[in-house]
Chains A and B, each alone.
Chain A
């Protein structure tokens, strides 16, 4: 909790401060020059129309390219986490501040402005002593709005690798832990309310010209920010960072790996809930030190291959390719596979007489298919669809938790499941046989970043994990988290998996 809150406050406060620093001069320029006003306000509005999650996500590749371009100049910065989140939130905070500042400055009485020049003020003095003080209440109202937006939107920075209160929400959503989701939302809302009240105190103090109110609000804000971010400076030890994508198995594995490293006396932190291609690029760029990916994913998505030379050949070629292209070390397979698979309810499959994907293809025009947010955009789906000539009646996308719900209660007939998912057995689903071998094998492989390729202590600590996790153990651990009754935390599931595989 202290870390999530601390990071959230640090990010929001920095974005707001930067937004204010950029917006005020822009607003002043827009106020003075009508030619500047239109483009500035239009651009700010345009930015506001980009969905916040997309804006956050867009900064990652942008910064990555910039980082690559400037690394020759000796400039090194991380394209993941704080920086993209800061930039996106800053842009987001600018519209309300800009709008209100321009409106506030434009709203200053023309006679007062003329008098300011008439008594002998320079334009700068007129701005500082007359226009800005008079516009201040309106500007502060904009700052308040920006603060609430920023604090709320900061929860979305989790998928780009920035720790925030959003970690509760995203983890909770993936693992169906609604208490976590609610807690994350409530914490962010409470934070926004507190900031809003303190800024409101400043706003009313400015409007009524009561210095005491302004001071009280400012001191409250500064003290609150200082208190919240203190822990992140105290515990700032260099640590190994373990990445994870945004689904249950990955959350559990990240915990398991972290515990394993800590047992070996290394300091490690998790950065979970990253998008699949974000996590791969982050590893290649050395922003995370290790994570688990799947051979078929690398084969199709990163290498762009569509052929199927077989499990061993794929793993060997992939290992070679990762080393040559990025210097990424493939430490080995964890021992289980988690393939994309098409799954149906057993009773529905029997009713239709479907056991293989070929048989599914014949029934497909009457059926509805559900996939997670990634599935229909992935080459595996294109491969399956083209190989079997799959044409469904309807196609819908779900967050994976809801996708399982949808197939269980018959909203869709077929879903894109993961073969190691505990819910397949729990919901009495059957996995349709890929009789033409359109889907490549998906061995879970432990990948290490090029920056740690020669870190023997790290590699030695990770090696015991290779080949130790049978698919049954993985399924049970995932199910502990995903099931409705006797639901367990990710931490418990990781401990269970460690005990099951003899790692602890």
Chain B
């Protein structure tokens, strides 16, 4: 991995929303390898969303540089950059006045793909996210459940065959079962399509189960980044250790309580 050009590089990136009094993101540097699945975790206000949005230029950094596949992101207009990346958000943001098929087709359309090619791609994507094209293509978004909406959101993000997908708590609003199904399904797509994925989550367990590598943010700084095993290693930041301890403690308690019931 190290010999290849990183898919995404953040180099000493700063962002302040109050003219420099406080920093939402402070001195963050990060390399994300091509094909890697990175999870960014941290509490609210830790700067994870700001960091993600600086990659597709929904937010511009005050200083530092963001590069994608070796080239600075400022090298081309923001909208062109975004057409080359998938972007999935918690609220999904399907266009309510367009059908499912039209929603998925939007980025290829902006890229002026020929119509037959767009139609074939929409069909293919609906299959990929396991929504039967015949049943769903012409529905309006309001007719879908939360999980189905997010499947369409993912299909829309993948429509123009991006190499990189950015996701901001994509499954945060879903019930646990749907969430489990969708995270597993997405990880499969990630491997199958050879994507580079960056996913924000506040759920450490989800991060541990899904990601190749986890970056932990607190107060605008990146306090640790590494594979789940490395993070848990000795000498780590106490905040990181506390974060990692939580799912273990929860798993222990679940086990204990289930055992109590069995005995009782």
| Chain A contacts to B: CB under 8 angstroms | 109-122, 125, 130, 133-134, 209
Contact = CB atoms under 8 A, between A and B. Distances in A.
B58 A114 contact: yes
B110 A116 contact: no
Nearest to A209: B97
A120 B58 CA distance: 10
B80 A111 contact: no
A120 B81 CA distance: 7
B105 to A, nearest CB: 10
B58 A119 contact: no
A111 B110 contact: no
Contacts, number: 66
A36 B157 CA distance: 35
26 contacts: A109-B91, A109-B96, A110-B91, A111-B92, A111-B93, A112-B93, A112-B94, A112-B96, A115-B93, A115-B94, A117-B58, A118-B89, A118-B93, A119-B82, A119-B83, A119-B87, A120-B79, A120-B84, A120-B107, A120-B111, A120-B160, A125-B79, A125-B110, A130-B95, A130-B97, A134-B97
B110 A119 contact: yes
Interface residues of B, number: 26
A114 B52 CA distance: 13
Contact of B89 (A115, A134, A209): A115
B15 interface: no
A118 B87 contact: yes
A134 B82 contact: no
Given A111-B92, A113-B93, A120-B111, 6 more contacts: A109-B91, A115-B89, A115-B92, A117-B79, A120-B160, A125-B110
Contacts of B157: 119
B156 interface: yes
A119 B90 CA distance: 15
A120 B83 contact: yes
B259 to A, nearest CB: 43
Contact of A114 (B81, B93, B106): B93
Nearest to B90: A111
A119 B89 contact: no
A133 B96 CA distance: 10
Interface string B69-87: 0000000010111111001
B9 interface: no
A111 B91 contact: yes
B97 A109 contact: no
Contacts of A134: 96-97
Contacts of A118: 56, 58, 82, 87, 89, 93
A168 to B, nearest CB: 44
Interface string B20-50: 0000000000000000000000000000000
Given A119-B156, A120-B107, A120-B110, A114 B89 contact: yes
B79 A116 contact: no
Contacts of A109: 91, 93, 96
Given A119-B106, A120-B79, A121-B110, A133 B89 contact: no
Contacts of B96: 109, 112, 134
A110 to B, nearest CB: 8
Contacts of A117: 58, 79, 82
A118 B89 CA distance: 9
A122 B82 CA distance: 10
Interface string B51-62: 000001010000
Contact of A119 (B80, B91, B97, B107): B107
A278 B93 CA distance: 58
A113 B92 CA distance: 11
Contacts of B90: 111
A118 B80 CA distance: 10
